[in-house]
Amino acid sequence: MDLSTEEGFQEAFELYFDRVYYFFRRQGFRGDVSHDLTQETFLRVFKSRDTFRGESRLDTWIFQIARNVGLNEVRSWGTQKREGAEVSLEDEAGFPLPIPDAMVPEPLDRVLEDERARKLRDALNELPPQMRRCVELRLYQDLKYKEIAALLDISIDTVKAHLFQARQQLREKLSDYFTDIEF
């Protein structure tokens, strides 16, 4: 698909218009806003089409542009409402994980904390890989069963079973360190 020609660009527009539109709808934008953002996305695709060398996929490239358009739209709302400083992409992605001051251990407790962390990592590593990933996605990232299942391409029932078994195993292995293993 040659984006430098009108025919090629129109073909891409018609192929991806609804996909971009529904991407914005799924992100929670209203219909008319999604329509505006879709137009904006293709305008940006057009303006930067010279930078697309075909080394990456066209759909992922358009997606990345749409993603930025959506983020900018959300930012513009914050700017218009004068609600404070801009939020960085890193923060919006939820990474790095914030650790409140109250959670930072005192220096004297750090040795014990290191020990618990090491035991925790060891216990996690002893779980079967797929079970461990379910635990990590559930606990590190606070995802829902459905989301974990989609990301790992397994059924929701499998996720539930993995988490149940992992809970039992971690309780056994870490009972000296944690008494509150719930997830």
Partner 1 sequence: MSRDKTPFGLALRGLAAREKGTLGAHPSLDEWAVYQEGKVAAEEAERLRDHLARCPKCTQLLMEWMSFAGPVPPEGARPIPKGEVEAAWKALRPQLQFPAGESATQPTTLVESPAPTLELPSRVTSAPAHRQPAAAGMPPRRRVPYWLPQTLAAVFFLTTVGLGIQVVKQRSVSLEGQPGLEAGFPVLDLHPMGSEERGGEPEDGPQPLFSDSTYQLFLHPDDPGSFSSYRYVVVEAEDPKQTIKETESPTTGDTFTLLVRKDEYPPGHYRVLLYGVRSGRENLIDQFEFKVKKR
Residues 99-128 that bind partner 1 (CB under 8 A): 99, 103, 113, 116-117, 120-121
Question: In 35-58, which positions are buried (b, 16+ CB within 10 angstroms) versus exposed (e)?
Answer: eebbebbbebbeeeeeebeeeeee
Q: Which of 39, 158, 161, 165 binds partner 1 (CB under 8 A)?
A: 39
165, 169, 163, 170: which is closest to 149 by C-alpha?
A: 163
Q: Which of 52, 132, 158, 165 binds partner 1 (CB under 8 A)?
A: 132
How many residues are there in the chain?
183
Sequence-distant (≥ 6) Cβ neighbours of residue 117 within 8 angstroms: none
Interface of this chain with partner 1, residues 69 to 88, rule: CB under 8 A: 73, 76, 80
How near is the Cβ of 56 to partner 1 at its closest, in Å? 5
How near is the Cβ of 124 to partner 1 at its closest, in Å? 8
148: how many CB neighbours lie within 10 A of its CB? 23
67: how many CB neighbours lie within 10 A of its CB? 15
Interface of this chain with partner 1, residues 3 to 32, rule: CB under 8 A: 4-7, 9-10, 13-14, 17-23, 25-27, 31-32
Check residue 183 for interaction with partner 1 (CB under 8 A): yes
Interface of this chain with partner 1, residues 42 to 71, rule: CB under 8 A: 42-43, 46, 56-57, 59-60, 63-64, 66-67
